[in-house]
């Protein structure tokens, strides 16, 4: 009979990628990139050290998907320029040498974006509703977001697709689309923050359309078939917000 320890330290294969164990470094936003949106070397070295110390899976921080309205925290990273790709290429090569599977996480903050750190100074969301919580970094209320137009939706999808292409070019084994924690994609999924009356709002299927039929499909078209594609989702409450992706979810259970 297998003990829990055996499972934890046993390998797992998905597609043609073998995780040597079930220990992973979670995606962690570091706010440590320069103006070029490339993390400082010590942040990159931190990831590689985790692999050298035995982690089977190493996630990057959440990478911001465009230069317009996606960014929620200062000094975040992107992967849409050759320099950014080349910087991450060194990391994926080092992670591979150390035996870890590498995943780059991609996100757009939506109404939790911070206009001061976004080049376009805009904050967009499925519906014009501000979060109840304050911005944890400066204690100010979040601004009222602009409701996303059809053009904004296209632009955001393109940002995910281009960033995924950048991640694949940098040699990542996989990509994770961040659909959790109250950021843009989960704002679409939840009837709490999505009050749209078009094809992106209302029914569960409509609220999932942005993620499931559009972002995931656009990303898939840009990445090789062997690249892993993960999606992170929140099921229950997020901080004080009565957040629900699924009508039946109660107390974090589905």
* Interacting residues with ligand FMN (CB under 6 A): 26-29, 61-62, 105, 178, 180-181, 232
Mapping DSSP to helix (H, G, I), strand (E, B) and coil, where does residue 128 land? coil
What is the closest distance, in whole angstroms, from the C-beta atom of residue 29 to ligand FMN in the complex? 4
Residue closer to ligand FMN (CB basis): 32 or 156 = 32
Q: Are 102 and 92 in contact (CB under 8 A)?
A: yes
Q: Are 83 and 155 in contact (CB under 8 A)?
A: no
DSSP for 169-180 reads HTT-SEEEEEE-
Using alpha carbons, select from 131, 113, 85, 108 the residue that is nearest to residue 240: 131
Q: Are 109 and 86 in contact (CB under 8 A)?
A: no
Residue closer to ligand FMN (CB basis): 29 or 84 = 29
Residue closer to ligand FMN (CB basis): 26 or 137 = 26
Residue closer to ligand FMN (CB basis): 105 or 127 = 105
- Give the pairing of strands 174-179 and 228-233: parallel
Residue closer to ligand FMN (CB basis): 60 or 92 = 60
CA distances from 90 to 32, 47, 86, 170 (A): 17, 12, 7, 8
What is the closest distance, in whole angstroms, from the C-beta atom of residue 61 to ligand FMN in the complex? 5
What is the closest distance, in whole angstroms, from the C-beta atom of residue 59 to ligand FMN in the complex? 7
How far out from the chain centre does Cα 41 lie? 21
- Give the pairing of strands 17-19 and 12-14: antiparallel
What is the closest distance, in whole angstroms, from the C-beta atom of residue 113 to ligand FMN in the complex? 14
Residue closer to ligand FMN (CB basis): 147 or 231 = 231
What is the closest distance, in whole angstroms, from the C-beta atom of residue 149 to ligand FMN in the complex? 27
What is the closest distance, in whole angstroms, from the C-beta atom of residue 27 to ligand FMN in the complex? 4
């Amino acid at each position: 009979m297998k003990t829990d320890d055996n499972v934890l330290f046993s390998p797992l294969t998905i597609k043609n990628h073998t995780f040597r164990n079930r220990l992973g470094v979670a995606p962690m936003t570091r706010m440590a990139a320069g103006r070029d949106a490339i993390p400082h070397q010590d942040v990159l070295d931190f990831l590689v050290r985790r692999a050298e110390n035995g982690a089977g899976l190493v996630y990057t921080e959440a990478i911001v998907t465009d230069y317009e309205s996606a960014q929620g925290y200062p000094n975040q990273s992107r992967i849409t320029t050759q320099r950014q790709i080349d910087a991450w290429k060194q990391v994926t090569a080092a992670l591979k040498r150390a035996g870890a599977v590498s995943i780059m996480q991609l996100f757009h903050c939506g109404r939790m974006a911070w206009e001061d750190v976004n080049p376009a100074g805009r904050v967009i969301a499925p519906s014009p509703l501000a979060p109840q919580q304050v911005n944890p970094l400066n204690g100010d209320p979040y601004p009222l977001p602009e409701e996303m137009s059809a053009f904004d939706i296209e632009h955001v999808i393109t940002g995910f697709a281009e960033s995924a292409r950048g991640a694949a070019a940098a040699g990542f084994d996989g990509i994770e689309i961040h659909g959790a924690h109250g950021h843009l994609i989960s704002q679409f999924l939840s009837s709490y923050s999505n009050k749209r009356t078009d094809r992106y709002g209302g029914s569960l299927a409509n609220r999932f359309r942005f993620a499931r039929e559009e972002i995931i499909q656009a990303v898939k078209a840009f990445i090789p078939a062997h690249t892993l594609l993960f999606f992170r989702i929140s099921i229950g409450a997020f901080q004080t917000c009565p957040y629900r992706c699924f009508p039946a979810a109660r107390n974090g259970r589905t």
